[in-house]
């Protein structure tokens, strides 16, 4: 049980660091600082049917299903902290979340193995695009920002 608590604390620390990096790079606004990296929020003003301007961390099956149900288009990034290509993809997905009309959701496969298995994720990073609750695209590996934005815009 203590390993799970340590992992949870590590994830919180990583989320705080990412938020600080975004804010330091000019990507954060005063509205963004209202999110505390809980993994359940939908970014600034996302609850009113808008889309978050940064990736949303998914923390379980219920969180994932709620995100896919609540938003018309969701780009789900199945990732892992130990994955080099996943770390390369992170800033790309942050820019996609800021530019595209859909939601970018990140799912740590180590913290959410049931979700990874449910969606047949065999390698990371794996990106699944959901439109109206249904998967429409599967991409594996690092992807180009413009390609991802175009895919999301086609489904929006």
Residue of 7, 14, 66, 83 marked active site: 83
Read off the DSSP letter of residue 101: S
CA pseudo-torsion sign 44, 14, 83, 121: negative
The residue from 75, 86, 96, 105 that is catalytic is 86
Q: What is the DSSP string of 38-74?
A: -SS--STTGGGT---SSPEEE-SHHHHHHHHHH-SEE
Alpha carbons 105 and 56: distance in angstroms, whole number: 5
Which helix (H) or strand (E) is 153 found in, with range?
helix 145-155
83 is annotated as an active-site residue: yes
Q: Which two tokens stand for residue 113?
A: 């193995």
86 in active site: yes
Catalytic residues: 83, 86
């Amino acid at each position: 049980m203590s390993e799970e608590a340590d992992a949870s604390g590590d994830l919180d620390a990583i989320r705080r660091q990412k938020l600080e990096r975004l804010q330091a790079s000019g990507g954060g606004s005063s509205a963004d600082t209202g999110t505390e990296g809980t993994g359940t929020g939908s970014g600034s003003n996302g609850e009113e049917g808008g889309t978050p301007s940064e990736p949303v961390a998914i923390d379980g099956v219920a969180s994932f299903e709620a995100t896919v149900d609540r938003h018309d288009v969701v780009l789900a990034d199945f990732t892992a902290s130990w994955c080099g290509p996943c770390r390369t993809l992170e800033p790309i997905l942050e820019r996609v979340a800021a530019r595209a009309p859909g939601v970018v959701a990140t799912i740590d496969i180590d913290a959410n193995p049931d979700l990874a298995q449910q969606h047949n994720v065999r390698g990371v990073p794996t990106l699944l695009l959901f439109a109206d609750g249904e998967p429409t695209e599967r991409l594996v590996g690092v992807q180009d920002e413009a390609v991802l934005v175009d895919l999301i815009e086609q489904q929006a």
